[in-house]
Amino acid sequence: MRRQLNTLYVTTEGAWLYKDGANIVMEVDNEQRARLPVHMLESVVCFGRVAMSPPLMGYCAEQGIGISYLTPNGRFMARVEGPVSGNVLLRRAQYRCSDDPVRCAAIVRHILVGKIHNQRAVLGRALRDHGDKLAPDDETSLSHAHRRLGRISDRVMMETGVDVLRGLEGEAAQSYFGAFDHLIRVDNQALRFTGRSRRPPRDAVNALLSFLYTLVTHDCRSALESVGLDPAVGFLHRDRPGRPSLALDLLEEFRPLLADRLALSLINLRQVDEHDFQVMETGAVLLREASRKTVLTAYQERKREDLRHAFLEEKVAIGLFPFLQAQLLARHLRGDLDAYPPFLWK
């Protein structure tokens, strides 16, 4: 089993990273702030104005450590990586499958089954754990959405057209996010959720969700590249220049557990509140720098938790799940598995 390594998140504006032996050293205003051994890392994510020495970039490329550059608010800008891993035959199989309507639809179907199952798990856990404390309207809305998602999942299993499946995915998202506000147990109008908004997010909850989705997308992209798949050629998401479509496909299965559930925990446990967000002149709502560190810490802690993988039937760190799903997808594309087994949160 692959070892769970760390991701180094650099959020300090003006930080300078350089190589010292087998270590990454971070300086801010000519003062050393951190030193980490490279062998403990699998990727580096830089937010905002962060500089890195060429020797360190080259060393990371040699060690298979990807470097991603994001804006201060978490929007992806660029990625630096070493030679592409994996063999060309796997990628050719991926491209052929993406162009085959029948095989493509089969993979999309299983991705959506996993995503909707996990969305239902989020709603179901709230009903199970807090059902006696919920207001009648909250319980009714959550129960209705839970049942509707079940019906949509049944329809997904019978559909064979990719476009129809995409429509069902949108219907499921509408139902799920329509009940999402009922999962928030904090009585604070600044933390209400009235619907999904992005590019830019228009409220605090959307800002938190978008930030977490960016982190999970990064991990999914790294996982796909590590097994030799092309993150730009997907099945559910159409190809578009500059978009990691396959990483976004893989993200769908992990949104409920690694992002939605974590966002709800941060809000309901009052680890973040309205003071952790700032409203820009454009109306966009963004996480403050200090608050990003709180979220990043919670995300790393969540990834270290163990969870049983339903298909492999063994407990592994949650942070390894994107890698395991990428491996299973690669095995399916090579013909070793008859179907792609989605991640099902039990």
Amino acid 91: pLDDT? 92
* pLDDT, average across residues 95-118: 95
Amino acid 172: pLDDT? 94
pLDDT in tens, 11-28: 788 888 988 888 889 888
pLDDT in tens, 276-315: 888 887 878 888 888 888 999 999 899 989 998 888 888 8
Query: What is the spatial distance between Cα 58 and Cα 80, in angstroms, rounded to a whole number?
Result: 10
Q: What is the pTM of this model?
A: 0.85
> At residue 88, does pLDDT exceed 90?
no
Amino acid 284: pLDDT? 83
Interstrand relation of 50-52 and 76-80 (parallel, antiparallel or unpaired): unpaired
**Could you tell me if 142 and 179 are in contact, meaning their C-beta atoms sit under 8 angstroms apart?**
yes
> At residue 1, does pLDDT exceed 70?
no
287: closest CA among 211, 196, 217, 202? 211
pLDDT in tens, 153-173: 999 999 889 999 999 999 999
* pLDDT, average across residues 244-261: 94
Report residue 69 CA to chain centroid gap. 16
Amino acid 344: pLDDT? 92
140: closest CA among 80, 169, 182? 182
Task: Look over the chain and give the mean of its residue pLDDT values, rounded to a whole number.
Answer: 88
pLDDT confidence bin for 86, thresholds 50/70/90: low
Enumerate the β-bridge partners of residue 8.
44
pLDDT in tens, 51-64: 889 998 888 888 88
Which CATH superfamily is 88-112+186-334 part of? CRISPR-associated endonuclease Cas1, C-terminal domain (1.20.120.920)
Selected residue with higher pLDDT from 268 and 43 = 268
Query: What is the spatial distance between Cα 239 and Cα 261, in angstroms, rounded to a whole number?
Result: 29
Query: What is the spatial distance between Cα 172 and Cα 114, in angstroms, rounded to a whole number?
Result: 12
pLDDT confidence bin for 85, thresholds 50/70/90: low
CA angle 316, 322, 324 (to 5 degrees): 60
Q: Where in the chain is the domain with CATH 3.100.10.20?
A: 6-80
Query: What is the spatial distance between Cα 272 and Cα 291, in angstroms, rounded to a whole number?
Result: 7
Q: Where in the chain is the domain with CATH 1.20.120.920?
A: 88-112+186-334
Query: What is the spatial distance between Cα 146 and Cα 157, in angstroms, rounded to a whole number?
Result: 17
Q: Does domain 6-80 have CATH number 1.10.760.10?
A: no
Positive or negative: CA dihedral 53, 57, 60, 65: positive
CA distances from 191 to 168, 278, 335 (A): 29, 13, 47
Query: What is the spatial distance between Cα 258 and Cα 303, in angstroms, rounded to a whole number?
Result: 8
Characterize 242-279 residue by residue with b for buried, 16 or more Cβ atoms within 10 angstroms of its Cβ, and e for exposed.
eebbbbbbbbbbbbbbbbbbbbbebbeeeebeeebbee
Contacts of 46 (CB under 8 A, 6+ apart): 10, 15, 17, 52, 67, 68, 69, 70
Amino acid 341: pLDDT? 94
**Could you tell me if 146 and 124 are in contact, meaning their C-beta atoms sit under 8 angstroms apart?**
yes
48: closest CA among 9, 7, 8, 6? 9
For the chain, the straight-line distance linking the first and the last C-alpha, in angstroms and rounded, comes to: 21
pLDDT in tens, 179-235: 998 998 888 888 888 888 777 888 899 999 999 999 999 899 888 888 889 999 999
**Could you tell me if 278 and 288 are in contact, meaning their C-beta atoms sit under 8 angstroms apart?**
yes
CA distances from 145 to 121, 126, 153, 183, 259 (A): 11, 12, 12, 12, 19
Interstrand relation of 76-80 and 66-70 (parallel, antiparallel or unpaired): antiparallel
